Amino acid sequence: MRNRLIHIAALLALVAVTAYGPATARLAGAVETAPSLSSIGPLAFGPDGMLYAADPQAAAIFALDLGAQANGGAAGTANVAGLDQKLAAMLGTAAGEIQITDLAVHPKTHNSYVSVMRGQGANAKPALFRVDGAGKIDLVASESLKSTSVTLPNPAGAAAANGRNNRSQSITKLAFSNGRVWVAGLSNEEFASKLWSVAYPFAKADAGTSVEIYHGNHQQLETRSPVYAFIPYSIDNQPYIIGAYLCTPLVKFPVSSLTPGAKFRGTTIAELGAGNRPIDMILYQKNGKEFLLMSNTSRGVMKIPTADFGSATPITAPVTAETAGVAYEKIASMTGIQQLDKLDATHSVVIAQVAGGLNLSAVDLP
């Protein structure tokens, strides 16, 4: 029987909540200010509870010290029905006037943080919420936070020749690994797709690596499509980035080859189907095996075994079938998933489209 409220063990929860304190010391040496985000998109937590938030419109990454605002709530994350309506009401607007841009779980409290844009177009404003283990929703008072930030060079322009606003894709995803914030997005360069690795505490972002891939379903090399979802991953004790693109190639990049200012072609190890955009991916273990769980816009949630990531045959020629390379299982029980993150060793937390709106739920890892 699934409980509505998902808690980590009481003792561990108490230790987690009481042990987490302000991260001021980790900001030492940098100029600390209240964050001045013009937008808010992808989120990522560091293991110490520092929250990294992307501002795509400014092409900037903010390190947000949540301080006391990370404490005080019940540990875990409870189910919240009608999440979009509740968030909109707290912002004094209608559900149709907000966009949920990401979901991230605090590594210590296991509370969920939800980033939101209120309004449309140039008038949209960012907001950040916390959902705790009792289902209580708090608006994070960003003006009281301490933060540092770094700006990416050469971001995608606000207006492209095709009429699209590519600035919104200047940052498409974040992850923290081994003292660095990994960033995927678009630049204004000819090889537009980029991966950056920015050391924390922040100093200055380098030029990043321009990455290209061979897209078997499209039967061509591609340099202008961004990585939409990725995870830092280890293969044979060497660090890699596993990334997914539009329509939906799965690609591996050895970190040792991602040289700032250079160009590099990743190795395509799977084609997971056209007409689709990846949203989020997480790693987990079950029954002694490791899996990547990836949510998508139109092909459901995919459960992908990682055992063959190192030995998979590279896809370097046109693919005429629907899929190729590393296989996956579609999780029929997970539908309408808009956002996904790992809650604990046995559960994920999702925001899913249902009749009448969006629900936040803790669900078993498949």
User: Closest Cα partner for 197 from 156, 155, 152?
Assistant: 152
- In angstroms, the Cα distances linking 18 to 8, 113, 177, 344, 345 are 14, 19, 24, 19, 21
- Residue 20: pLDDT above 80? no
More confident position, 11 or 357: 357
pLDDT digits (tens, 9 = 90+) for 286-345: 999 999 999 999 999 999 999 999 999 999 999 999 999 999 999 999 999 999 999 999
Calculated CA dihedral for residues 361, 185, 116, 297, nearest 10 degrees: -40
pLDDT digits (tens, 9 = 90+) for 134-193: 999 999 999 999 999 999 999 998 765 555 678 999 999 999 999 999 999 999 999 999
More confident position, 4 or 237: 237
**This prediction's pTM:** 0.91
Q: What is the mean pLDDT of the chain?
A: 91
pLDDT digits (tens, 9 = 90+) for 199-228: 999 999 999 999 999 999 999 999 999 999
Mean pLDDT of 261-289: 97
E-strand ranges in 191-328 read: 193-199, 209-215, 220-222, 229-235, 238-244, 249-254, 263-265, 267-271, 278-286, 289-296, 301-305, 324-325
Distance CA 56, CA 186 (A): 10
Distance CA 344, CA 38 (A): 32
112-118 sheet: strands from edge to edge: 98-105, 112-118, 125-131, 137-139
CB 246 within 8 A of CB 191: no
Number of continuous H segments (helices) and E segments (strands) in the chain: 2, 28
Query: For position 32, what pLDDT does the model report?
Result: 81
123: Cβ–Cβ under 8 A, 6 or more apart, which residues? none
What one-letter code names the amino acid at 237? N
